[in-house]
Structure 1
């Protein structure tokens, strides 16, 4: 293909979607001799945003434009269009947006699910955050499915009915992952057996290197000091699942494992507990969004990208894996207010109202799950997140004291107010240090 390109033609647009990392560099290396000033490369792979920015810096002096465009929707998005998040030079984005609008998915109002995200690597960064949110959501849904199947002994088709009812209205309406959960729970092979029943409990996409966005999201959360427990715990859950042989070895050594799920004995009716499961799931999904957006907002402030969050939420309304209309409505209503707290979404009244309605159910589900030894890493992490994110006194008081004891790390005092996350002015000699000098004095 490269040798068939003729120089002197109008600026060319190259679109590629290949595995992240070295594959993209190899393609660019082969393509580079045939690129001319004004040409545009539209990278629609799930590329690492730092690699995107490196390529932009390398090509910019030559007048070659590199747009990092996140694409969501999976392989089936070819049927209905994907959600697209392009980032790069503003003038070049104006040129490619008409093309992207033609191929992008449309939301219920007929709007294309694409928009110019911002400069540099912001497009791929937004897609990375999308995938981090996705991991938190998928874990919570899987945990709820497992409770229904293994602890409530509901049949696959009964679970499919529940997912379908949740997806029709209420806080989980038009949620893509819930909707396909119904399809997965109902699908049978030609011999009448359920496809789901033969799927092994291994998620290997992170371990085999084919998926990097979840890893990068967690790295960014840690680097930027943003708590993302729903997302991070989900990722660690996937990591543990991937090495099934290791789990089997531990299970054997423990003589059957540390614990295994048992039946839930309901004090209330089954429909009432199913309602609790719905609200518990909603709380976890909403917090996945909040945590992912907190990482994005922190990076936005650091890089001066000036992102438009209402537009980002809009492109997530169609063609993408995390589509969830009610959650998008809630978050959009927050960002509509000029006086909203953009840095801390949990401090906005709309979010507080939603969590106030759902957290009691989340607590019931987590308590019952602990009682019967089922697995709820993301659900329980969400509950703890909401607890400690709203607390005015944490056990970390003692942690800070120990840090000062052995490392002279200093601390702040209660009468000084919350302050900023910076080193405190106070240190206390908790125990007088002794050494050789002191020993000699005592002789």
Structure 2
């Protein structure tokens, strides 16, 4: 179906930029948003871009629906806060919907809400597509990565040409979108994308902190490091969006005072999760726990962000600890790192450690997706997921995605255990030494490394065959009769053990009292 008009509901940062993108592709966009300020901002931007003839403001759901074609399916795109706002929007639209109409939800919505809304609209014959959109407002303006999951196969017929037109394109010109599947898999994939994103961002901020506070490197020196990682064709971190913008952030000066860097005055708090502006990180951690997928790099990154948000609590605790003589603050140890030899070694160590952690964040995220895919029967094509992440998204990291795509395309990957893949094992085997060394150095200087250290420990315990959890298993059996397996037996999948040892018999009150009396007498 050729979409020439679209109803855009939500004119915020993402919705407004997508509206301008659609208009630039020649699509007539009719906007509805209760915020006049947001609408006017988009209209002003449209005028400056020469797109005012393609963008119109509608005052309510009825006028919005009447502005769209009556002789062909109406198409709507939602860009809203997650939660009840989406349901209220459908309430407003529903009286004017007919069979064949399409709603694409481009919000950062929870996948379960998406599936519930698909079921709600199914009897009416209205297609509902949960459409994760990545890349921030800049990508929304020039072409985002799009992760769609449809309510039915027929829904693709209506929107696929449109999606391939407006999506980001990779270096070969291929759209960064795919027909992922049926149900909530589109929003689920975008949710995990954001979980991986939080992991990568936390690793990178920790590495930045080590360079700044531990090694005493300047903003320009750190910017140069990031630029080399990103631009070197042989770098395992080449074409990485977060590293690219990290270099730009480190170089950016205050236009009002060129002696100051913008970054220097930014407070150390990330509030999006706590304010519930952003729910995807929380949901990813919840899903990892629900599906019993070990994802500590992602989980601890989320917890680090949450702790950072409560700056007043941290200040109060910091004051109290100073009163008892404890002050946790990074201690610079820049001497070796400032020498020519030291900088060269440190550069490689930092890069390899960062790469190892980035790769582990991807591994953990893909394990979550694989577990959900197995549970829901989505039958995802994992090469399609890699295509989503080749452009227009925050976690774009071409070297890593190229490698994962090759692994998935081979058809030999154990999707639930990527660490058993020879290629990934080789990459992590080459870099674990650098990660260990960096974590040890960081701990000595009291740098903050929750994601770096969690990634190292994850790798260690995930490939070990003799964990100290045998002691925990014994204690569980002691007080809970939880049973255990023996080392002499063949390893099996997670099932209850077959053996129990009566460490201490369960006794009644009288018997217990007699034993206690006897012990007292023996003491005398």
By the TM > 0.5 criterion, same fold?
yes
SS state at 1:285 partner: helix
Cα distance between partner residues in 1 of 2:512 and 2:295: 49
The answer to whether 1:377 aligns with 2:439 is no
SS state at 1:111 partner: coil
The answer to whether 1:346 aligns with 2:419 is yes
1:69, 1:123 within 8 Å by CA — same for their partners in 2?
yes
**Could you state the TM-score of these two structures normalised by the residue count of structure 1?**
0.97
Among 116, 121, 143, the residue aligned to 2:206 = 143
Structure 1 stretches (4+) deviating beyond 6 angstroms? 440-443
Following superposition, the deviation at residue 8 of structure 1 comes to 5.1
Q: Map 1:192-271; keep pairs closer than 5 Å.
A: 192=258, 193-255=260-322, 258-264=327-333, 265-266=335-336, 269-271=342-344
1:48, 1:213 within 8 Å by CA — same for their partners in 2?
yes
Cα distance between partner residues in 2 of 1:257 and 1:189: 35
Structure possessing the higher relative contact order (Cα contacts under 8 Å, 6 or more residues apart): 1
Partner of 2:86: 24
Partner of 1:386: 459
Partner of 1:34: 96
Cα distance between partner residues in 2 of 1:439 and 1:200: 59
2:353, 2:431 within 8 Å by CA — same for their partners in 1?
yes
1:87, 1:93 within 8 Å by CA — same for their partners in 2?
no
Any idea what the Cα deviations from partners look like across 1:246-274, whole Å, max 9, x if unmatched? 11111111107542111225386122112
Partner of 1:73: 135
1:174, 1:325 within 8 Å by CA — same for their partners in 2?
yes
2:178, 2:384 within 8 Å by CA — same for their partners in 1?
yes
Q: 1:111 to 1:440 in 2, by over 3 A?
A: closer
2:298, 2:361 within 8 Å by CA — same for their partners in 1?
yes
The answer to whether 1:183 aligns with 2:248 is yes
Cα distance between partner residues in 1 of 2:237 and 2:412: 27
Q: 1:438 to 1:31 in 2, by over 3 A?
A: same
Following superposition, the deviation at residue 2 of structure 1 comes to 2.2
Cα distance between partner residues in 2 of 1:204 and 1:441: 58
**Could you state the TM-score of these two structures normalised by the residue count of structure 2?**
0.82
The answer to whether 1:337 aligns with 2:406 is no
SS state at 2:181 partner: coil
Partner of 1:108: 171
Q: 1:275 to 1:439 in 2, by over 3 A?
A: closer
Size of the aligned set, in residue pairs, is 443
Cα distance between partner residues in 1 of 2:174 and 2:320: 56
Partner of 1:283: 356
Q: 1:432 to 1:96 in 2, by over 3 A?
A: same
Partner of 2:389: 316
